[in-house]
Homo-oligomer: A and B are copies of this chain.
């Protein structure tokens, strides 16, 4: 399994690579003119020109190019770029776009591509296939590669076992530095990228790690056990990738050993394999809070529809709760129709205040900043912020209503309703996700539906209830 050695030739490479320079803007995006020029060349049948333009690009940029092409242009583009669109490009590609390209290939071609990739990338491609396709591709692979991929696929999805590389450098405790260096020099089949070597006991249990920079700087006669760090993070092979990502981030790890249930070294994870997971997990909250599932612009329309419509239907149900409350007050509304205009303000601003608290709370959970140690402190903090916000906004709205509608009593009612709803929103914004989390649910997934239900209901209840109870409705 090999990996590309090409490194990004960005515009700032100082003219090392003029082809790529004009292709990419200063934020590493492909320039629209470049994309158009390549697509025009393909459409004009000038494959040679297209290949000349694309050849200097990094695989990640070739992948971007194919993603940026319209769906009906992609097949032609990929055909024109045969040989350039290789396994590395596929590994970098958005999975939805990749899936449509792979659907056109047979098991033999897929097996060849998988064989060209590191195990983790091959697994990423194979795990998306239908089971019978997956079996066909595995049968067509080289026995060694096949065994590595099958072993990885045996671990749960999104676990460390699927992410790890099996290629790593492990040396026995009794070796000296010189022997390590000789071993590295004499062995052809080494991992492409490694930053540490692992020291293992006879039982293949890891006992320490050495940074390569330490190995390089140490005299040959020094035993590795004298220079290794004995404290190290061991990642259990079934650990969830989100926890792996958080651990890399928290301890600023560059690579870490992966161990099986018996504590034996079975693989390693390097930070470059985990960076995209850190990014995905961190941006997931915004998508989950908005109810869009994966939220990928390359997702097929049908899939986007299915994931989003469920959320909207759930919202429809919670909106009915608020509507039912309003319906109880139709008598008051008939007499004082302006309440129908004021209710939505109180409900809406309360909803926004709750969303603010929710976003902060969900992020604190995701980054492990909120635990049962500081739970009640966080609730107290949000209530204090809500009281300050409530007073300010209630005064603004109350005085505004008093003046515009020339009714100080209505202003007072609306101000009090606004205050009530913002404080309710602040409490709900932290208590709803806390409760969901204690029940074992992901607070980012369902919180905002419950929250909106609470702030809408409380908003209308406060406005209509206070207006009716205070007697300003005649």
Contacts and interface: CB of A to CB of B under 8 A. Distances in A.
A212 B233 contact: no
A384 interface: yes
Contact of A12 (B32, B219, B236, B393): B236
Contact of A205 (B14, B235, B285): B14
Contacts of A290: 289, 352, 355-356, 358-359
Given A32-B371, A194-B213, A337-B333, A231 B16 contact: yes
Interface in A374-432: 374, 377-378, 381, 384-385, 388-389, 392-393, 396-397, 422
A327 interface: yes
A341 interface: yes
A272 B252 contact: yes
20 contacts: A8-B253, A10-B247, A14-B259, A27-B243, A28-B247, A67-B369, A68-B373, A185-B217, A193-B254, A252-B272, A292-B356, A295-B363, A301-B385, A309-B393, A311-B352, A312-B349, A312-B392, A312-B393, A319-B349, A330-B338
Given A233-B7, A348-B456, A371 B28 contact: no
A275 B248 contact: yes
Given A68-B371, A231-B13, A309-B393, A297 B378 contact: yes
Contact of A388 (B6, B301, B320): B301
A87 to B, nearest CB: 15
Nearest to A289: B286
A254 to B, nearest CB: 6
A26 B7 CA distance: 37
Contacts of A253: 7-8, 272
A101 interface: no
A316 interface: yes
A30 interface: yes
A77 interface: no
A453 to B, nearest CB: 10
Nearest to A192: B213
Nearest to A91: B252
A344 interface: yes
Given A285-B283, A344-B347, A393-B309, A271 B278 contact: no
A330 B405 CA distance: 14
A195 B82 CA distance: 34
Given A252-B273, A312-B356, 14 more contacts: A5-B229, A8-B233, A14-B263, A70-B374, A70-B377, A212-B213, A215-B216, A280-B282, A286-B362, A297-B364, A301-B385, A308-B356, A309-B388, A319-B345
Interface in A191-216: 193-195, 205, 209, 211-213, 215-216
B286 A29 contact: no
- Copies of this chain present in the complex amount to 2
Indicate the size class of the contact surface on chain A.
Answer: 35 or more
Nearest to A357: B292
Interface in A259-300: 259, 263, 270-273, 275-276, 278-280, 282-283, 285-287, 289-292, 295-298
B388 A305 contact: yes
Nearest to A63: B250
A235 to B, nearest CB: 7
Given A275-B271, A312-B349, A234 B393 contact: no
Contacts of A385: 301, 304-305, 308
A36 interface: yes
A246 interface: yes
B249 A276 contact: yes
A360 interface: yes
A41 interface: no
A323 interface: yes
Contacts of A367: 279, 283
A235 B11 CA distance: 10
B363 A283 contact: yes
A216 B286 contact: no
B28 A243 contact: yes
B35 A373 contact: yes
A58 interface: yes
A292 to B, nearest CB: 5
